């Protein structure tokens, strides 16, 4: 079922922040938490430090009314710097590839930043853009050629 979640970027403290939010909302991060070191390094990028290999790649925490806050840590070795404007993203989780492409193209029209839709190692067809109004969006869709994207954290909560 399609849904909307909020994706937050952190500076190496995503696990700590999600633990805090879990106490606030009386919930727990759905396991397993994926760490940066759990996926293959990009050979064209600088290698990750041991600390960065332990950073959170993806985790999710159900909060209220089925809404899920997802989180990742940004990588200083890749030039990532957290700031207002890149710390929060509206994440659209879709099931229909054509609908994902339609929505993404409309949101990305006039965007100042854009990473086009493409197959991604976590089994999704994914893209992101900063729309013409300064709002960051991600589009995730399971692709027919890939195994279904794992259920996002918090389903059924």
151 domain residue, yes or no: no
- Say which CATH number the domain at 123 has: 3.10.180.10
Q: How many domains does the chain have?
A: 1
17 domain residue, yes or no: yes
72 domain residue, yes or no: yes
Model pLDDT, residue 31: 67
Model pLDDT, residue 22: 94
Q: What is the pTM of this model?
A: 0.72
**Span 46-73, pLDDT tens digits:** 889 999 999 999 999 999 988 999 999 9
148 domain residue, yes or no: no
pLDDT (tens, 9 = 90+) of the chain, 157 residues, equals 888 999 999 999 999 999 999 999 999 998 689 999 998 888 888 889 999 999 999 999 999 988 999 999 999 988 888 887 788 999 999 999 999 999 999 999 999 889 999 998 777 899 999 999 888 999 999 764 444 434 333 333 3
Model pLDDT, residue 156: 36
149 domain residue, yes or no: no
Containing domain of residue 102, as a range? 3-142
Closest CA to 52 of 80, 22, 24, 86: 80
154 domain residue, yes or no: no
CB atoms inside a 10 Å sphere around CB 109: 11
Give the largest CA-CA distance in the chain: 41
């Amino acid at each position: 079922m399609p849904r909307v979640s909020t994706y937050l970027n952190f500076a190496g403290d995503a696990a700590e922040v999600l633990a805090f939010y879990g106490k606030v909302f009386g919930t727990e991060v759905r396991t397993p938490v994926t760490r940066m070191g759990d996926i293959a390094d990009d050979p064209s990028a600088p290698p990750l430090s041991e600390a960065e290999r332990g950073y959170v790649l993806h985790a999710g925490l159900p909060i209220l009314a089925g809404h899920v806050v997802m989180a990742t840590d940004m990588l200083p070795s890749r030039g990532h710097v957290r700031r207002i404007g890149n710390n929060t993203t509206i994440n659209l989780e879709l099931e229909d590839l054509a609908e994902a492409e339609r929505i993404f193209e409309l949101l990305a029209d006039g965007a100042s930043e854009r990473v086009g839709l493409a197959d991604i190692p976590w089994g999704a067809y994914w893209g992101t853009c900063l729309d013409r109004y300064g709002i960051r969006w991600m589009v995730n869709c399971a692709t027919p050629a890939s195994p279904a994207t794992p259920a996002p954290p918090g389903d059924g909560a």
